[in-house]
């Protein structure tokens, strides 16, 4: 059955609903490029923690392509939690979502170590303290040779795409705590917590994938 009905606007897009499942137009556009980047880098039987899983479609796609992995969903929005839970019930390797606010103190307490800490299209539509929370907890969460994977739009000085500048202005007009983040600011944040930007991957629609690994 095709998605029907319309949910309230979540994360700046109109998401379709089918029972508990939500369908994200942006996830539909970028899940295959994201899946391809991750598939090349995740070890066998990898465990992944995704912060801000939204509809759960990215984890669903990755688990379908890699049945050996275990993907932990997280969210704070009730409708998104329900969507993630519905997908986890139907998809091997996709774990029932945890309610997690990465901007809260000690948010990672009690979470088992992972091979990859993933956050897709999140840090520009969240307060900066969420990016800080990711960086602060990454070292304690990552297994040996683990990595942080961030995907989304970024500002890059004079090389910034005009569409990303316009998007940044639009976000800040909606919420002054939001905004497309400068790459240098993000890189410096993770460096302060012992993580180095090791890969920068150009993605469709002026997005980037950034991969951070331990500098040790």
DSSP 66-121: -TT-EEEEEESSHHHHHHHHHHHHHSTTEEEEEE--TTSTTTTTTPPPEEEEEEES
**Beta strands 4-6 and 195-203, pairing class:** unpaired
**pLDDT at residue 35 in the model:** 95
What pTM was estimated for this model as a whole? 0.92
Q: What is the pLDDT of residues 42-100, one digit of tens each?
A: 999 999 999 999 999 999 999 999 999 999 999 999 999 999 999 999 999 999 999 99
**pLDDT at residue 9 in the model:** 40
Give the mean model confidence (pLDDT) for residues 208-213: 98
- What does residue 66 show for φ and ψ, rounded to 5 degrees? -130, 85
**pLDDT at residue 8 in the model:** 39
Confidence of residue 11 (pLDDT cuts 50, 70, 90): low
**pLDDT at residue 165 in the model:** 97
Residue 12 pLDDT > 80, yes or no? Answer: no
Q: What is the pLDDT of residues 147-173, one digit of tens each?
A: 999 999 999 999 999 999 999 999 999
**pLDDT at residue 6 in the model:** 39
Assigned fold of 32-214: Rossmann fold (3.40.50)
Question: How far apart are the C-alpha atoms of 140 and 136, rounded to whole Å?
Answer: 8
């Amino acid at each position: 059955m095709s998605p029907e009905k319309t949910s309230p606007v979540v994360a700046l897009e109109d998401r379709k609903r089918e029972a508990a499942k939500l369908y994200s137009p942006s996830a539909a556009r970028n899940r295959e490029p994201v899946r391809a980047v991750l598939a090349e880098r995740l070890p066998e039987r990898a465990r992944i923690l995704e912060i801000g899983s939204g509809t759960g479609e990215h984890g669903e796609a990755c688990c379908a392509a890699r049945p050996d992995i275990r993907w932990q969903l997280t969210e704070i929005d009730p409708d998104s939690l329900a969507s993630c839970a519905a997908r986890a019930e139907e998809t091997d390797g996709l774990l029932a979502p945890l309610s997690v606010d990465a901007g809260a103190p000690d948010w990672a307490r009690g979470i088992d170590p992972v091979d990859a800490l993933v956050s897709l299209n999140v840090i520009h539509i969240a307060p900066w303290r969420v990016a800080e929370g990711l960086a602060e907890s990454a070292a304690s969460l990552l297994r040996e040779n683990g990595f942080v994977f961030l995907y989304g739009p970024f500002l890059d000085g004079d090389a910034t795409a005009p569409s990303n500048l316009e998007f940044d202005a639009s976000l800040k007009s909606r919420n002054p705590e939001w905004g497309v983040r400068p790459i240098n600011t993000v890189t410096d944040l993770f460096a302060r917590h012992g993580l180095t930007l090791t890969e920068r991957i150009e993605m469709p629609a002026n997005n980037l994938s950034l991969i951070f690994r331990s500098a040790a």
